[in-house]
Structure 1
């Protein structure tokens, strides 16, 4: 049995060693593998997945997906003839492969962000299930190689809401995709646990008395809050329904902070906020679409041929055409992920330094941007306000104030977030958990509880 944090930003796996959870190393990736996938062609994902499925699943899969498999085989032959690699890559290697040739291949970051999206066509849901299954298969194989044995039982973390407030249909859709993918790659028993609840279970192990804990999990794709009644007595129970006093959650997380920072902190260097020769402001819609890497429709619109022609006309009409030419370069070479990744890396660097210079010379010769913490805080006011509302919603639902606030999630490492949380809870102790490992550890504890 394992605890499996299939996260928006990273994936991790835990097993129990005695009374303590241990986060496993996953081959060369270390304990955390970035939730990215790169394929030399989208059509070959289904073939890679077929090759790595358990034998019992291959026959059914082949019968169901014969047309896609044949299409993938043709793509594989063409790639081999052209001398391109034919394997999928994951984690940091997937990002590196994308950055080497961003206009080639198929790259997806944080597919968990899309699973609850409304209006997905059946073929899109099928594609996301294949992508999730491929990532889970890779993690499962690495886990089994580390343990030297198979794993068939798992507890997978889930946000309170995948898409938005009260989005139960979105939640059902996302959970069905995750369940189908997990069972396809060989997990025989699959259960889910709210990510903030799991993080709370890990914190609970150190408590010596009954405590009301507000868990705030600021992850890559969502922020989730749970008010929990915790302590030694509660930890011994298998049914924790009565201890879960409230939940709130929304799709606002690290990805949204990165996108906001890229848009407001970097896009001015691409011509946003500049003027046309007529004296009017440059339209901002294409800038929003360019940075919205977690929105399928916006990205499709941005990379359309019609938008390319629109940007060319804007360049002719602009007072500073050299700036807008950078946005056209992003559009022509499919560099949205490249720019948002630069914002993400800048955000991470600002954890230790108040200022950071970002090199974008691959987009325009000599192009650099200076970022700072104040700019990050200013860019993310909307996201911070949403998190404040979620915390207050959880407190209001519970009808009581927390004795302690337990904070986890990689985004919470930012000094801007730390200062923000201190301002929200000036008279309540704030405990910082393992930013990346608390959820995995708690899922692992819960796996032992329900499967033992």
Structure 2
């Protein structure tokens, strides 16, 4: 049996793999990649098989002038029962096929580093892939099939916030009751655990795990909020079309709901939908804002647009005002966003849902705020200031901690290997 196992955090935005030496219980290497795929469209179907992953996917997507299939937020498709497969070139890909490409990419780098084929892994999963139990189970089964395709024969699933807890535990000097809050691109997950630096090498930790839960809101939700409030008015939201003389109606709401999330934007990129939007353009009196919508879809500008949204969100982590601007293919707009507007008008509803869930979570398990020694916030979305403020205001600034926002989960997944083995005995 190999002395190495892998901890794998397949994320909505980024994915990470850590190599754990089980003889020392120390991490010896970390590999990361954006969770992106690009399949080029050269006019020759067989060329679509020459896909790219991660940063290379972005580079080739830009070099090709956005000709091809660019995929992000693949993790969010796992619980989608209606997604069976998709044809790219001459081949059909299931969602597990697509996920496995990223897992294979990470595994290959790790195998080359350790000099052997490692087939054992601890794979992270959110507390909720979906709030529907049937869809949640489907997502994990699909992730299991992806792991098998990638070459893993022995693998365990661990809740992502529990993985983060095991990472935080190694920073402690004494026992603590810790609420781990893991905020990713797709979900906000919580775990409540007794952590003890003297127990990091113990296998049986069942008694320390008090509660876990989560809600299907994450960084992508905040991106969608920015797009809805500040982006969609520049693509025709609020414009009317005159389908019959003297009778004007608002453009279909579905246009704007779909352009507010990356994975739904592709729904508009069909002949039928492009035709419908083209008709709306004519019936709106050739309104330039509706022309913007057509251009956005026809010129495949979604990725570029959402990168600007992400930049705006990142700028607001350290500035009191940021600019959301976009200038591509005759689409040109600029929107100033203050921190006050961002917090109280743009993302306020999703912030309230997260806070309401947190309060219900603590109430369900009869935990008072004063009983919790620390809040460990991790995940890229944890850096959103209004989100962090919820915890600061409720628990106190001195209790709110953070670590490696992007890799804490992957490291903790590897650390939890012996715990999972013990649980399954």
Q: What TM-score does the superposition give when structure 2 sets the normalisation length?
A: 0.85
Residue 60 of structure 1 corresponds to: none
SS in structure 2 of the partner of residue 196 of structure 1: helix
Question: Is 1:218–1:253's contact at 8 Å kept on the other side of the alignment?
Answer: yes
Residues 81-127 of structure 1: per-residue CA shift (max 9 Å, x gap): xxxx8521111221233344466322210211110123343779961
How much has 1:450 moved relative to structure 2?
5.0
> In 2, Cα distance between the equivalents of 1:371 and 1:225?
30
Q: Secondary structure at the match of 1:361?
A: strand
On the 8 A contact 1:152/1:186 being kept in 2, the answer is yes
1:154–1:368 distance in 2 versus 1, CA, 3 Å: same
Give the 5 Å matches for 1:187-206: 187-206=152-171
* 2:293 paired with 1:324: no
**C-alpha separation between the residues in 1 aligned to 2:299 and 2:359?**
43
Is 1:434 matched up with 2:404?
yes
Q: Check the 8 A contact 1:225/1:390 in 2, yes or no.
A: no
Moved more, 3-12 or 373-382: 373-382
Partner of 1:423: 393
1:388–1:424: 8 Å Cα contact kept in structure 2? no
Distance 1:319 1:240, change over 3 A: farther
1:109 aligned to 2:72?
A: yes
Deviations 1:45-90 (A, max 9, x none): xxxxxxxxxxxxxxxxxxxxxxxxxxxxx822xx4xxxxx852111
Contact 1:35–1:111 (8 Å) recurs in 2: yes
Give the whole-Å Cα distance in 1 for the aligned partners of 2:327 and 2:292: 11
What's the CA shift string for 1:188-226, capped at 9, x where partnerless?
Answer: 211110000010111112333332211110011111011
SS in 1 for 2:180: strand
Partner of 1:159: 126
1:364 — aligned with what?
Answer: 330
Separation in structure 1 between the aligned mates of residue 382 and residue 356 of structure 2, nearest angstrom: 16
Q: Tell me the distance in 1 between the aligned counterparts of 2:381 and 2:397.
A: 23
| Aligned 8 A contact 2:220 2:261 in 1 | no
The answer to whether the 8 A contact 1:274-1:282 is kept is yes
Q: Is structure 2 residue 12 aligned with structure 1 residue 12? A: no
In structure 2, what is the equivalent of residue 229 of structure 1?
194
Choose the corresponding residue for 2:257, options 284, 288, 299. 288
Alpha-carbon spacing, 1:37–1:187, altered in 2? closer, same or farther (3 Å): same
Report the aligned-residue RMSD.
Answer: 2.9
Provide closer, same or farther for how the CA distance between residues 102 and 163 of structure 1 changes in structure 2, counting only shifts above 3 A: farther
C-alpha distance in 1 between matches for 2:50 and 2:65 = 17
Pairwise mapping of residues 17-416 of structure 1 onto structure 2 (< 5 A)? 18=24, 20-24=26-30, 26=31, 32-40=32-40, 75-76=45-46, 79=47, 87-101=50-64, 104-121=67-84, 127-164=94-131, 167-232=132-197, 234-274=199-239, 281-295=250-264, 299-300=266-267, 302-318=268-284, 321-364=287-330, 366-377=332-343, 378-401=345-368, 402-416=372-386
Higher mean displacement: 142-151 or 432-441: 142-151
Deviates more, 1:272-281 or 1:425-434: 272-281
Q: For the Cα contact (< 8 Å) 2:120–2:154, is it kept in 1?
A: yes
Task: Return the offset for 1:362.
Answer: 1.7
**What do residues 250-273 of structure 1 show as CA deviations (whole Å, max 9, x unaligned)?**
221111211221221222222323
Separation in 2, partners of 1:371, 1:150: 49
Cα offset, 1:281, TM superposition: 4.8
Return the alpha-carbon distance in structure 2 between the equivalents of residues 23 and 197 of structure 1: 21
SS at match of 1:294: helix
SS in 1 for 2:406: coil
- Retained in 2: the 8 A contact 1:195–1:439? yes
Q: Secondary structure at the match of 1:242?
A: helix
Q: Which moved more, 1:349-358 or 1:175-184?
A: 349-358
Q: What stretches of structure 2 of length at least 5 have no aligned partner?
A: none
Counterpart of 2:281 in 1: which secondary structure? helix
Write out per-residue CA displacement over residues 388-431 of structure 1, whole angstroms, 9 at most, x where no aligned residue.
12322321232213222111110111223222332343487111
Residue by residue over 1:282-319, the C-alpha shift from the partner in whole angstroms, topping out at 9 and shown as x without a partner, is 44321111223234xx742x223333233233334447
TM-score norm. by structure 1 comes to 0.80
